[in-house]
Amino acid sequence: TYPDELRELAVREVQTSGRPVAHVAKDLGIHKEALRGWVCQAEADKGDRPDLLTTAERAELGQLRKDQ
């Protein structure tokens, strides 16, 4: 697991720099697929990815499954 601060920094770097995920991941010592997932989740949370569940929707779904 990676600290939240590193996740936020990495996602922000990808979004603002226009650099490929793989390059940012390599520079920060993060697995590129982990960073790719964080970027996709951040896009979903902003409403840019309607095909994905937001963090809040994922939490709600998890709670519903737990309650069954």
CATH of the domain at 16: 1.10.10
- Report the length, in residues, of the chain: 68
Query: Taking CA 2 as the corner, what is the angle to CA 8 and CA 64, rounded to the nearest 5 degrees?
Result: 85
Task: Count structural domains, the chain.
Answer: 1
**Percentage of the residues of the chain whose pLDDT score is greater than 70:** 100
Its pTM stands at 0.89
pLDDT in tens, 19-44: 999 999 999 999 999 999 999 999 99
From CA 57, how far away is CA 55, in angstroms rounded? 5
Which residue range is the domain that position 40 belongs to? 4-67
